Chain A
């Protein structure tokens, strides 16, 4: 307690703390619940009431979940789109942000308008669907990457950052005979690591969590992403998936397997985001204040 607080302020402070603790518990409990269920025996999982710690810990649900083909295809494709998609996005967006950051670019405001205008209208779901179909991207892993290459908000953030890089660095490189492309890749990009980290992380999270494009554009079950697998299992309650998993052990129940699958998909983000949150936060602050 800081000594400078009056007793009125102290009471208020405790009140605020209690509210925040309650809120934090509400945020965290669902994860504890699912973690607990995933480690429970089937009988335990169905028990009504609060689930904090399973009385008997059982890893059966995880074993069964990991044996299904769907989850491995899901992981493969999700990891593919997260790594390749993010890498390509960073490359092409940097390539575009750089020229747009130069005041001397001919017709620069036209190109900016061309891009920014797209934030205010949309073709709609059906026209976009037909377009993707027409481009032959159905049932291809590239449908996860190509239509999501650019994000206008991130592009603007990148451009603004490039604009803040001192011109002298590039001028001296030009005098040494480097052309624009070399300057971009050897000088500007290495200097932009923090902002690239932010933009890259946003893209990665988007790809990791993406599910709707996989749902409508992909029928081939070997090409679905993790989120779609989870959706099939947990939400659409597709019995075949469940039956295939549960076949061997009759005692295994659907709830524990569903919970295990949810945990498997959530743990990567849970483990990673506390360390990376500063990048995300910086990003939206920079973006919104300049925006």
Chain B
């Protein structure tokens, strides 16, 4: 305690942070009990009766919605990862090959632009571009004689549109980390490879990729941890009742049914399920990657 007095000014400085984290990060944990209660507005959280695992029973056995939102979440996330994870890496490799410095810098600056805008604004842009009547994409499609495609209004193309537009938004920004990793590869390695007669491809396979593997591994762990997220901001701004069947994910469901329809108990249960799984995934992926010889996150 004497030390606390001696450094009291330091603790005065630290106090707001501790209080804030206490309230806003640890505080909501109190509300998690709603996952096990039947929420009565009049009684509040503490007064509402306990119902144990009833919500979870409903979710996993009786719900019509849950299997579908879980499936959508995983499928969409899978597509996001399968296509969206490699894209910035490829772009970084591409940028890395450019020799014209100025061109490279301008192209990079342009590529980060969508990252700085919100999905509200980007959705506005997308809705205009993809319009079946006045949008450029459909103009090109109809020019070649095909029927206009309802990218956002039809079930067949909605997920495709989600993935491609997400790549458009994040590919530039995502490439920064990989570009930095690429820049840190010792040029001597390349020089000796050239001496040994290795062409571009071999260089890339045997030097570049292995050297940036640690970066890729860490980024991948973080990505897997977010597998149940599937892009809430984007989907909430782009979806509509027509595509709920293919696009409603866990988070949009929690928002629409939890806040919109005041069903706090069951959506808290779904949220709890999601967070526990996400944590398990991060720890699990981290463990696997470490076992494979790379440095993990934790």
Tell me whether chain B's interface is mostly helix, strand or loop, or mixed: helix
For B136, list chain A residues within 8 Å (CB): 29, 33, 49-51
With known contacts A2-B99, A126-B259, A285-B180, A118–B139 Cβ distance under 8 A: no
Kindly list chain B residues whose C-beta atoms are within 8 Å of the C-beta of A128.
Answer: 24, 28, 31
CA distance in complex: A262, B121 (Å): 6
B125 touches A150 (CB 8 A): no
Shortest CB-to-CB span from A179 to chain B, Å, is 5
| Contacting residues, chain B, for A259 (C-beta < 8 A) | 128
Q: Are B121 and A212 in contact (CB under 8 A)?
A: no
CA of A46 to CA of B16, assembled, Å:
54
Expressed in whole angstroms, the Cα–Cα distance for A35 and B288 within the complex equals 48
**From A37, which residue of chain B is reached at the shortest CB distance?**
B128
B25 interface residue per 8 A CB criterion: yes
A23 at the interface (CB under 8 A from B): yes
A177: CB under 8 A from chain B?
no
* Contact in complex: A26, B176 (CB < 8 Å): no
Does A124 lie within 8 Å of B28, measured CB to CB?
yes
Alpha-carbon distance between A184 and B255 when the two chains are bound, in angstroms: 42
In the complex, what residue of chain B is closest to A100 when comparing beta carbons?
Answer: B14
Contact with A along B55-93 (1 / 0, CB 8 A): 000000000000000000000000000000000000100
Number of A interface residues in the complex (CB < 8 A): 92
A269 contacts B117, C-beta separation under 8 Å: yes
Cβ-Cβ contact count across A and B, 8 Å cutoff = 245
Q: Which residues from chain B contact A273 at a C-beta distance below 8 Å? A: 112-113, 116
- Check B32–A123 contact: CB distance below 8 A: yes
B237 touches A231 (CB 8 A): yes
* 8 Å CB contact of A180 from B10, B18, B23, B138: B10
Per-residue 0/1 for B134-149: is the Cβ within 8 Å of any A Cβ (1 yes, 0 no)? 1110110010000000
Write the nearest CB–CB distance from A120 to chain B, whole angstroms.
6
- A131 CB, nearest partner CB in chain B, Å: 5
Whether A27 and B110, one on each chain, are in contact in the complex, defined by CB atoms closer than 8 angstroms, is: yes
- Complex Cα distance A203/B79, Å? 30
CB distance from B212 to the nearest CB of A (A): 13
The answer to the question of A140 belonging to the interface, with a C-beta cut-off of 8 Å to chain B, is no
Complex: A259 Cα to B268 Cα, angstroms: 38
Given contacts A30-B129, A121-B29, A234-B123, list 4 more A-B pairs with CB under 8 A.
A16-B97, A99-B11, A131-B30, A234-B120
| Nearest 4 pairs of A and B residues by beta carbon | A123-B28, A127-B31, A124-B271, A96-B17
A-B contact pairs, 16 of them (CB 8 A): A37-B128, A92-B20, A95-B13, A96-B14, A99-B10, A104-B7, A114-B21, A124-B28, A125-B255, A127-B29, A150-B17, A180-B10, A181-B9, A212-B233, A255-B128, A281-B176
